[in-house]
Structure 1
Amino acid sequence: MESRDQSNLQLKKASSCYSSIIEKKQTFSPSVIVIGGGFGGIAAARALHDASFQVVLLESRDRLGGRVCTDYSFGFPVDMGASWLHGVCEENPLAPLIGKLGLPLYRTSGDNSVLYDHDLESYALYDIDGKKVPQELVTKIGDVFESILKETDKVRQELSEDISILEAITIVLERRPDLRAEGLSHKVLQWYICRMEGWFASDADTISLKYWDQEELLSGGHGLMVRGYCPVINTLAKGLDIRLGHRVTKIMQRHNGVKVTVEDGRTFVADAAVVAVPLGVLKAKRITFEPRLPEWKETAIADLGVGTENKIALHFDKVFWPNVEFLGVVASSSYGCSYFLNLHKATGHPVLVYMPAGRLALDMEKMSDEAAANVAYMQLKTILPDACEPIQYLVSHWGTDINSLGSYSFDTVGKPHDLYERLRVPVDNIFFSGEATSEKYPGTVHGAFSTGLMAAEECRMRVFERYGELGQHPAIGEESASVSIPLLISRV
């Protein structure tokens, strides 16, 4: 009798153990660590969380958004990082979310603006003596600049090796005396080059002739996020396990997953990791990979360019400038030119944003915030003598900020365009996202967002394949299509 009881007990234990195994199998929950809380990381974390992954997002800053930073110090939102939706159309992957949230956009250009983010009907340019440049001259030189850029394509086709866009412009002007400009016209041409440098966040002598125009531009022009990007970030982050102030220093691949170490020594383990940190941070090797990343991946990180464009937002107690979208100062070199975005026209708030790029931006980062704001103000005072002093100011430092070390990526001279794709390709169970991994839309918020979704889907497939459960879970984005809400677009 005792033997039978023991036997029954063993059977119960075995049955209990077997039931436990079945239960574990049924409740299998894969895990992932997302590193970086910008749009690439947030998009990946949101998608994987919604796909029933256990997600932990580690962010080094004390806020989310990364190089998207909506500041409320003035009492209203001002984006000190990314502020445009490039491509105000339904094809933009961010459009459905922005539409659902009812966030207004202010369109600053159509599809064919030579300035990329502005049309020419809403500008005011001045020379360094404060004299306004005639609109006819700005329009004329704008046409000249477009012609020069078209001519650089001929130079590109003739050369077997890559050169900078600035070298190509020089060659064009040597060949085509009719496109040369002198005096004030030359200064206006330099201002156009300055704006082009702002688009790439780098100087024209570093930008690849071969690939400068390879980015795909979505239709619909460019729209300023009137209320800033913060509401979009907050919506995507809702309900996620987010750890702020967690600076990752090491990512270790193990036979059954990854182990991630943060600055204070704490560790996190999961089935996979999504690396969504800025290119500048990867370039600086702030994160150690163990084992080392493959040589092709390290080469992609080293060879992709990362530029710097900063913002100095000046808040005034009244509007004293003309009702145009931007103000500019022309000079004999692009380095000496200035560009001010007029937020009052788009948002109703008396704010001008000075936007230096390339070497000028890096040089100004060496100054104190007060000195940098004063430089911007003095530029304004030069062209508008009645300018009053700002009551507040904000200064970004994307080039020297340890969390970014640059603003966004671009194609450097002599390097292949497929570096973006190489940076995106996973290394086993480590996946990559962010604007620098978008071959189609580098340097854009929607580029970062779309690569986050791609990384999430690749991660989902890899992890479920490993556990033999791929067919049991729907692909990310396969849910029934939601109602499309039109974007709220204005143009004053």
Structure 2
Amino acid sequence: MGCLTNTMKLIMNFLIILLATLQAVSSLPECGELDAEVLILGAGMAGINAARTLFDEGMTDFLIIEAKPQIGGRIFHSEIRPGGAKVELGANWIQGVDPDDPEAHPLYELAQRCGGIQGNFSDFDSIIEYDSTGLQVSDLLDYDGIADAYENVEYISTARQADGQTDITVREALLQSNWTVDSNEDAFLDWFCFDFCFAEPPDNTSLFHSQPLSTYTDFGNASNTEDFLISDQSGYAKLVECIADGILGINNSRLLLETKVNIIKWSDDCVCVETYRDGVMKEYCASYAIITFSIGVLQSEEINMKFEPDLPEWKLDVINMFSMAHYLKMYAEFPTVFWDDVEFIGYVSDVRGYFPLFLSENLFLPDGNNVLQITTTGEIATRLLLQNENETINELVQVLRSIYGSNVTEPTAFIQSTWYTDPYFLGSYSNIPLGVTNQTFIDLAAPVGRVYFSGEATSMQYNGFVHGAYFAGRDSAEAVLESISIGVSVVANLLLVMFVVIFVLLF
């Protein structure tokens, strides 16, 4: 009897220790009652695909919090005027599609599964260039020279990395490739072949992470890949909506729109998010959180929201290593089409990057929409956006008149993207300056406590692209699922140990 009593005491003591251990593993003392297992902050491509990944793996206990009134994030379209054509104010292209193997690209394949999406493969050979006097200068542009230079830039990048050499800027690599900007025509090509994609000049950009080779080699024949321009009146966001289809619950119960995140409280146990909606504060708590905010928002978190406690220095250092580019898209509608019947019109200005490129949207939009898309980047884009809109329209008209004559009228409708001034974006997409390494990307995505970081900026292969956000959302969700699995495994192992010990003590 005494032996049995001692055995029972041992069992009771073991159970007490085990229960205390289980409580340490599974309880969330700082959060109390949880609203979800996972909070997803941001309903752009990364956030929605993170939710889809969780859902497809059987994890349905998630909540998506989005400040905007719709999903899509930096994928957004709007009517150029009431009743007019819808134009993309955010992302516009699916890059790196092989027309002979279109399903190899995840976004293009998604578009087909979602019923197709209207658009065309951009023809960058369908371009005519003018200088500021209205003179056609296409014959003066050395496209072959800059193409050869960039081919050598790719070689330099590969060779330097293979030899373990340090990173340099793209500009330095271009100089080593005998490409120098000696004329207005050279400056236009310099912008068209780099800034038009990256939204920042070669001077500011890392060589090792600047060439989007994987985008044009991973999804088909590298010599055959093209960029698909979306003109569908349902918008690019149709793809995000397709991913979200069926996962948001009854009456979108897993989605909170127009809900601003104010404070993110994190620990090693849980995450609580203080939000505001219609002036009412509410807190949501979960075991994990996935943040898909832009680099611009993370860099200015004291303005938009804050972390409690502050993020550790190593995470802040990584976040601040990136830059947030500014890509300004403007759309102008005119009574008639007065411009050339080509896809692109280049403007070779005396100032690099000043109204450099026009896209004939009328070729792809529904009939009767005489629309030009105008692209600028960097400091010029910032100046144009921050000034009075009428001043920007006046500058635009003067440029067009210098090309096509004084009969060019003012546009009947005008709209422009506002990524740079939107407090929920603060820029278009991330760019990679000198100093960023492969480890930087790993550290950027790495969790702090139970907060995981996602979005296009965290994608090492496809940084800045929509498919970068797509894959980043998937990867962050899989990382959270793995962490949950490890936690469950720990508890299961402890339970197994408990039963084994009880069995040994009793028998």
TM-score band, normalised by shorter chain = 0.7 to 0.9
2:430/2:463 contact within 8 Å kept: yes
Q: What residue in structure 1 maps to residue 288 of structure 2?
A: 272
1:6-405 matches, cutoff 5 A:
31-50=37-56, 51-74=58-81, 75-88=84-97, 89-109=102-122, 119-120=124-125, 122-134=126-138, 136-138=139-141, 141-152=142-153, 161-170=166-175, 172-173=177-178, 186-195=183-192, 196-213=194-211, 215-218=213-216, 219=220, 220-227=225-232, 228-238=235-245, 239=248, 240=252, 241-254=254-267, 256-263=269-276, 264-285=280-301, 286-336=304-354, 338-348=356-366, 349-385=369-405, 386-405=407-426
Query: What value does the CA root-mean-square deviation take over the aligned residues?
Result: 2.7
Write the deviation string for residues 287-320 of structure 1: whole angstroms up to 9, x where unpaired.
3223333433222211012211011111223222
Partners in 1 of 2:439 and 2:268 — Cα distance?
30
User: After the TM superposition, which of the residue ranges 243-252 and 272-281 deviates more from structure 2?
Assistant: 243-252
Partners in 2 of 1:84 and 1:191 — Cα distance?
22
Q: What residue in structure 2 maps to residue 114 of structure 1?
A: none
1:409/1:442 contact within 8 Å kept: yes
| 3-state SS in 2 of match to 1:405 | coil
| 3-state SS in 1 of match to 2:392 | helix
Partners in 2 of 1:180 and 1:231 — Cα distance?
42
User: After the TM superposition, which of the residue ranges 307-316 and 143-152 deviates more from structure 2?
Assistant: 143-152
Write the deviation string for residues 142-189 of structure 1: whole angstroms up to 9, x where unpaired.
11112233454677668955443334434554xxxxx6676xxx2222
Write the deviation string for residues 393-434 of structure 1: whole angstroms up to 9, x where unpaired.
111121221110111112102332442332122334222221
The two structures have a TM-score, normalised by structure 1, of 0.79
Partners in 1 of 2:489 and 2:36 — Cα distance?
12
Partners in 2 of 1:300 and 1:56 — Cα distance?
27
Q: What residue in structure 2 maps to residue 475 of structure 1?
A: none
Indicate the percent of aligned positions where both proteins have the same amino acid.
27
2:195/2:377 contact within 8 Å kept: yes
User: After the TM superposition, which of the residue ranges 364-373 and 276-285 deviates more from structure 2?
Assistant: 364-373
Look up the equivalent residue of 1:199 and give its one-letter code.
Answer: C
Q: What residue in structure 2 maps to residue 15 of structure 1?
A: none
1:297/1:423 contact within 8 Å kept: yes
2:120/2:229 contact within 8 Å kept: yes
| 3-state SS in 2 of match to 1:48 | helix
1:362/1:399 contact within 8 Å kept: yes
User: After the TM superposition, which of the residue ranges 264-273 and 440-449 deviates more from structure 2?
Assistant: 264-273
CA spacing shift, 1:243–1:323, aligned 2, 3 Å? same
TM superposition shift of 1:254 = 4.0
Look up the equivalent residue of 1:146 and give its one-letter code.
Answer: A
| 3-state SS in 1 of match to 2:327 | coil
CA spacing shift, 1:470–1:77, aligned 2, 3 Å? farther
Partners in 1 of 2:66 and 2:338 — Cα distance?
41
The two structures have a TM-score, normalised by structure 2, of 0.77
Partners in 1 of 2:78 and 2:391 — Cα distance?
20
TM superposition shift of 1:373 = 2.9
Look up the equivalent residue of 1:245 and give its one-letter code.
Answer: E
The number of residues matched between the two structures is 424
Partners in 1 of 2:104 and 2:490 — Cα distance?
32
| 3-state SS in 2 of match to 1:42 | helix
Write the deviation string for residues 321-360 of structure 1: whole angstroms up to 9, x where unpaired.
1121111101244233511111122334321111110111
| 3-state SS in 2 of match to 1:461 | helix
Partners in 2 of 1:93 and 1:151 — Cα distance?
30
Partners in 2 of 1:171 and 1:356 — Cα distance?
27
Q: What residue in structure 2 maps to residue 433 of structure 1?
A: 454
| 3-state SS in 2 of match to 1:359 | helix
CA spacing shift, 1:463–1:287, aligned 2, 3 Å? farther
In structure 2, stretches of 5+ residues that fail to align are 1-33, 493-507
CA spacing shift, 1:215–1:287, aligned 2, 3 Å? farther
TM superposition shift of 1:39 = 0.7
Look up the equivalent residue of 1:130 and give its one-letter code.
Answer: G
In structure 1, stretches of 5+ residues that fail to align are 1-27, 110-117, 174-178, 472-492
Partners in 1 of 2:282 and 2:149 — Cα distance?
55
TM superposition shift of 1:190 = 1.0
